[in-house]
Structure 1
Amino acid sequence: MPVVFNKEIDDQSVLSVWKIEETEEQLLAGLQLKQHELDVIHSLSAGKRALHWLATRVLLRTMLNTTDYIDCQMDEHGKPYLVNSDMHISLSHSYDYAAVIISKGKQVGVDIELIKMKIKSIKHKFLSDVELAQKQIGDNTNGLYVAWCAKEAIYKWHGKKGLEFKQHIHIKPFKLKDEGSLQALVELPSGMKELTVNYFKTKDGYMLGYVVSP
């Protein structure tokens, strides 16, 4: 499972993407897992779900460059965190890829998705009419995935339940490219916040979006 993409976002934050080519056994060999983690793996269906869980943890270990046990848990909102560490993390996976973003001083969120035409059938569920009226989103599959990945990354950045994609996260007009950025307004309990979301499309048809912000 090689790292196929690695980016130092700033002096505290790094994003990496790993292509999953190993078996469960090979991934397990690269980890130190305790019984509660093995129980999680056994509860997952055979195939991609277990591979995804393992791959994000192996990538996390690689990025942290440590042989020590990494205690990665989920809080009550489902947001991953590292026990006894001030590092912020976000995990994502889709089909053949795993993505992890880490930061020492900022909240982070990442999402990777395999681009599929079927997103057009659900676009009204996560985009407002105002967003759908934007020509770069509308009926453009790539634009729809940029918007989805952006909203998912923001949701993970926030890390708390109750944030609705359609109601609380608003994508401002942007110029659609294979790699670019956009601005989004987010209605948080503490008030409105504007975030920058960076995104890129891979050569083999995946879209990735990420957020790094205090």
Structure 2
Amino acid sequence: MPLYKTLTPNSYTTVKIWKITESYNQLKQGMFLRPECETRVLGMKSELHQRGFLSVRHLLAEFGYTDADLFYDENGKPHLKDGKHISITHSFIFSAVVVSDKEVGIDIEKQREKISIIAQKFVEYEFEYLDKTATDYINKLTVIWCIKESLYKLFATPGLSFFQHTLVIPFMMKDEETIAWIDYDNKKYRYQTTFLEFEGFTCALALPS
């Protein structure tokens, strides 16, 4: 079982990251899924997505939960039946689940040069401190994307825009943390975010500050 990493950013939050090295059949062995989840995973066209879905269920088990403990609301946000807060992500060969006593969001992304092509779609204020000629430009863009995706998952409000409603305070890669804000419907929300890099991937986590 390739539980890749466990993080505890504070006393009430735990992150577990899985490196997906198993086949679909290996991940599926001995696993019970609700009928609707069974239908969902069988309907996925990509085996990579199927394996990501199943690896998340293995991560739930690491926390002591089963597939039946997880449900989604009308906005697609995941919840746990015991009232704990949860966020889920997977990208290529990595997946992650965070469980916390507070609202939480998490995202993993593969670091790729092409993120610079779409940067103008999710970056506005951050261009004031980003240096496009810096060697860590792609790394910083990926951190910003992951943080904003984490905020989006946490806030789970229709109409929230990465470009218009979220911003990430200046940071250095060595900091592995920064502050982020959501400015939505004439209200401002402050979040503490942490991030890390591993094997060409970036992971970011957002919690209320």
SS in structure 2 at match of 1:107: coil
Give the Cα–Cα distance (whole angstroms) in 2 for the partners of residues 189 and 30 of structure 1. 47
2:79 partner amino acid = Y
SS in structure 2 at match of 1:163: coil
Check 1:165–1:137 CA distance in 2 against 1; reply closer, same or farther (3 A cut): farther
Check 1:190–1:33 CA distance in 2 against 1; reply closer, same or farther (3 A cut): farther
Give the Cα–Cα distance (whole angstroms) in 2 for the partners of residues 157 and 81 of structure 1. 11
Asked if the contact 1:61/1:70 (under 8 Å) is kept, the reply is: no
Percentage identity across paired residues of the two chains: 29
SS in structure 2 at match of 1:145: helix
Which structure 2 residues correspond to residues 1-214 of structure 1 after superposition, within 5 A? 1-64=1-64, 70-82=68-80, 84-103=81-100, 105-128=101-124, 130-135=125-130, 140-177=137-174, 180-189=176-185, 191-202=187-198, 204-213=199-208
SS in structure 1 at match of 2:173: coil
SS in structure 2 at match of 1:135: coil
Structure 2: state its 5+ residue gaps.
none
Asked if the contact 1:131/1:138 (under 8 Å) is kept, the reply is: no
SS in structure 1 at match of 2:63: helix
Check 1:138–1:88 CA distance in 2 against 1; reply closer, same or farther (3 A cut): farther
Shift of 1:94: 0.7
Comparing 71-80 and 23-32, the one that deviates more:
23-32
Asked if the contact 1:92/1:100 (under 8 Å) is kept, the reply is: yes
Q: TM-score, normalised to structure 1's length?
A: 0.89
Give the Cα–Cα distance (whole angstroms) in 2 for the partners of residues 138 and 184 of structure 1. 24
| Number of equivalent positions | 207
Structure 1: state its 5+ residue gaps.
none
Give the Cα–Cα distance (whole angstroms) in 2 for the partners of residues 31 and 193 of structure 1. 39
SS in structure 1 at match of 2:152: helix
Asked if the contact 1:79/1:160 (under 8 Å) is kept, the reply is: no
2:26 partner amino acid = Q
* CA RMSD, Structure 1 to Structure 2 (Å): 1.9
Asked if the contact 1:137/1:147 (under 8 Å) is kept, the reply is: no
Shift of 1:188: 3.2
